[in-house]
Structure 1
Amino acid sequence: MPNRSRLIAFILAAATAACLPPSTMAQEAGGGDKLVRLVVGYAAGGAADAVARAYAEQLQAAGYANVIVENRPGASGRLGFDAVKRAKPDGLTLYLGSSPMFVIFPLTYKKLGYDPDHDLRPVALVADVPTGAVTGAAQPYGNMAEYVQWAKQARAKATLGLATQGSPGQLGTIEMGGQNGLEVVPVLYRGAAPMLVDVAGGEVSMGWDAVASMLPLYNAGKVKFLGVAGSRRLPTLPDVPTLLEQGYPQYQHAASWYGVYAPAATPDATVAQLERAFVAAGKRPALVEKLQTAGFLVEPQDAQAAKRRIGVERAHWAPIVKAAGISFDE
């Protein structure tokens, strides 16, 4: 337990060090006269938390508002969503959420508990999130092909650690496993940090999350990448092949992205003001450099672009989910 606690502390410190504003006190002390709560549905130390804190810092630096990042992990981000949809629609309580909540969850959950199209409204698309698969550094396999071969030959229990149930990575893995005669059992965690601890320790044979969440342990030699999603290698990981290169096209569309959302009844004028502020913050060189170094791609887009992307991606995944019979109770 002491070693596990130290590893969690390492992940939390390393994953956010490059993206944290000086302190919450500093956020409250300067910049504008508004106090904005930016709710994140995941634990501190993960990719969403890093993006939220980077934007909070730049919004304050630009004099727009004092921003407090509030982590509300649980239910794959739905606890944070629920808190924001019930908030006063005054533009002072916002949600930073991952694309699966709006794209995939409506297709996979029998009892979603929220309306992704009407409970919140998009403000801006703030970061693209490259994702990938990792395993413990001591594991005998070093890429996805070797992992599949190992799981078959050893008749080992293939497990997939997840911080978000129903993520594109999980759907891709279900499809990949089905086509290769391999059952991969999902193991859900309350955040990336505890999941990666178990991956590094060999408790879970593979983990899937944002590259940004996994870079600190990768750089420390605790985990190794089996591959990354998408059709191109990442600038931050030029030696790591894509899963598509390895013959696994199921992961080509398994990347994710983060958007900022406001309660549905928030006035158009308020949303427009927030949209301008977030898009401007996302173009500030300090933020772009910080997040790109951490493994993100930063090309902020407005609310309409976010809404269009939700529709396009939902249409892409719908037939795949239906064909695979993927469904979660809650």
Structure 2
Amino acid sequence: MSTRRSFLSATAALTTATVPLLGQAQAESSSQNKLLRAIVGTAAGSTPDVIMRVIQDRVGGALSKTIIVENRLGAAGQIATEYVANQANDGSTFLVASTSMMITTPLLNPAVKYSYGKNIVPIVGLGSVGYVVVTGTGPGAPKTLNELFDQLRKSSGSYSSYGVGAFGQLGAEMLMERAGVKALHVPYKSAAMPDLIAGLNTFAVTTVSEAVPLVASGRLRALAVASPTRMASLPTVPTVAESSSGKIDLSNFSLEVWYGLFAPAKTSSTFISTLSNVVIDTLKRPEVQTKLDAASVVVTPLSTPVFAKKVDTDFGFWQETLKRLQASGRLS
């Protein structure tokens, strides 16, 4: 943990191959120095991809650079993260990453070839996407979160997610742990919602961005949002905490995935500070916030030290949570 907290103080000087951002001596050709690569570990159209593409031209313009978004898919973001962790620390390449890529995936899979704070470090926080508990709308489908719990007590039921360790699975198991119930986990590589709509699974915990259009069209029912307060995109849906009862304490229950920019370790503090400031200024623009709001992204610009502290705090939370869920046999 101390390595993560002190990454800035341990930043090394740039080598002669470094590509500085603002008018410093350049060792590479001018055409190369004008390009920055933003590596995204998910497909085009995914939330981190959308965030980066919304801001890339504005951020690039402010830096007098051209930012290229490059999607490197595979292994739930591990390939992209490992790639960036092994790039030169010259400021030419950075990563758009999430909570799962930086924290939960390494905790669940110690074999990954990167480690937050050791060979990859934070630049700036971008925002987050919340989660919502959803079910089908067919006969017998629960209409409230407590009705869902009652059904699971009477019969096991099932829930869908995008795989073991995916945030949807973690959220579902954390929720059922609080309620003292269990359900069969049905993992999907993609398209988990059609079977839920068809009534083949009992419920799912999924992102607001995935749920909103399906709820609006009447194909899914939102039971509760896993956020501290109600969401503007689902204003009539209560929070999980609001569903607390005398039997079940759901207070302070929250599940979100955040997104941020990260760089190879020992990247210049000048580069990190400059990019962080420009990104924060860009995210504050009303037109940018409008576009990201349409993608159900809660824009939360966080400076490098504030973002680093958040990552550290979340690392501790997930380390404890995953250990507990694994010990109880809930992660399978």
Instruction: Please indicate the TM-score interval, normalised by the length of the shorter structure.
Output: 0.7 to 0.9
Aligned letter for 2:43?
A: A
* 1:38–1:94 contact (8 Å) kept in structure 2: yes
TM (norm. structure 1) is 0.77
Matches within 5 A, 1:81-96: 81-96=81-96
Aligned letter for 2:289?
A: V
* 2:128–2:300 contact (8 Å) kept in structure 1: yes
* 2:212–2:234 contact (8 Å) kept in structure 1: no
Aligned letter for 2:134?
A: V
* 2:98–2:257 contact (8 Å) kept in structure 1: yes
Whole-Å separation in 2 of the counterparts to 1:120 and 1:177: 34
More moved, 53-62 vs 222-231: 53-62
Aligned letter for 1:238?
A: P
Q: Which has the greater radius of gyration?
A: 2
Cα distance change of structure 1 residues 244 and 328 upon mapping to structure 2, 3 Å threshold: closer
Cα distance change of structure 1 residues 216 and 231 upon mapping to structure 2, 3 Å threshold: same
More moved, 44-53 vs 124-133: 44-53
Whole-Å separation in 1 of the counterparts to 2:251 and 2:162: 17
Match of 1:45 in 2: 45
Aligned letter for 1:306?
A: F
Match of 1:280 in 2: 281
CA positional deviation for 1:201? 4.2
More moved, 126-135 vs 141-150: 141-150
CA positional deviation for 1:210? 2.6
Aligned letter for 1:174?
A: E
Cα distance change of structure 1 residues 182 and 241 upon mapping to structure 2, 3 Å threshold: same
SS in 1 for 2:297: coil
* 1:177–1:183 contact (8 Å) kept in structure 2: yes
Q: Could you give the per-residue CA deviations for residues 24-72 of structure 1, whole angstroms, max 9, x where no partner exists?
A: xxxxxxxx98333322222333322222222224324646433333333
* 1:47–1:213 contact (8 Å) kept in structure 2: no
CA positional deviation for 1:190? 4.9
Whole-Å separation in 2 of the counterparts to 1:207 and 1:58: 37
Match of 2:76 in 1: 76
* 1:45–1:213 contact (8 Å) kept in structure 2: no
Match of 1:11 in 2: none
Match of 2:129 in 1: 129
Whole-Å separation in 2 of the counterparts to 1:92 and 1:203: 47
CA positional deviation for 1:316? 2.8
Superposition RMSD on alpha carbons, in Å? 3.1
Whole-Å separation in 1 of the counterparts to 2:204 and 2:88: 37
Whole-Å separation in 2 of the counterparts to 1:45 and 1:178: 33
Match of 2:291 in 1: 290
CA positional deviation for 1:81? 1.0
Whole-Å separation in 2 of the counterparts to 1:208 and 1:74: 23
Match of 2:238 in 1: 241
Matches within 5 A, 1:154-303: 154-156=155-157, 158-162=158-162, 165-167=165-167, 169-190=168-189, 194-247=191-244, 249=250, 252-303=253-304
Aligned letter for 1:132?
A: V
Q: Could you give the per-residue CA deviations for residues 223-253 of structure 1, whole angstroms, max 9, x where no partner exists?
A: 2322111221112211011111112627723
Please identify runs of 4+ aligned residues in structure 1 that moved more than 6 A.
Answer: 327-330
Match of 2:16 in 1: none
Whole-Å separation in 2 of the counterparts to 1:328 and 1:116: 26
Q: Could you give the per-residue CA deviations for residues 190-246 of structure 1, whole angstroms, max 9, x where no partner exists?
A: 56xx23344444454333333123323333333232211122111221101111111
Aligned letter for 1:55?
A: I
* 1:163–1:190 contact (8 Å) kept in structure 2: yes
5+ residue gaps in structure 1? Answer: 1-31
Q: Percent identity of the aligned residues?
A: 25
Whole-Å separation in 2 of the counterparts to 1:225 and 1:179: 19
Whole-Å separation in 2 of the counterparts to 1:57 and 1:164: 36
Match of 1:147 in 2: 148
TM (norm. structure 2) is 0.76
SS in 2 for 1:104: helix
Aligned letter for 1:211?
A: V
Aligned letter for 1:183?
A: K
SS in 2 for 1:309: helix
Aligned letter for 2:266?
A: A
Aligned letter for 1:173?
A: A
SS in 2 for 1:39: strand
Aligned letter for 1:50?
A: V
Cα distance change of structure 1 residues 165 and 318 upon mapping to structure 2, 3 Å threshold: closer
5+ residue gaps in structure 2? Answer: 1-31
* 1:41–1:81 contact (8 Å) kept in structure 2: yes
Whole-Å separation in 1 of the counterparts to 2:155 and 2:188: 26
Cα distance change of structure 1 residues 180 and 229 upon mapping to structure 2, 3 Å threshold: closer
Match of 1:5 in 2: none
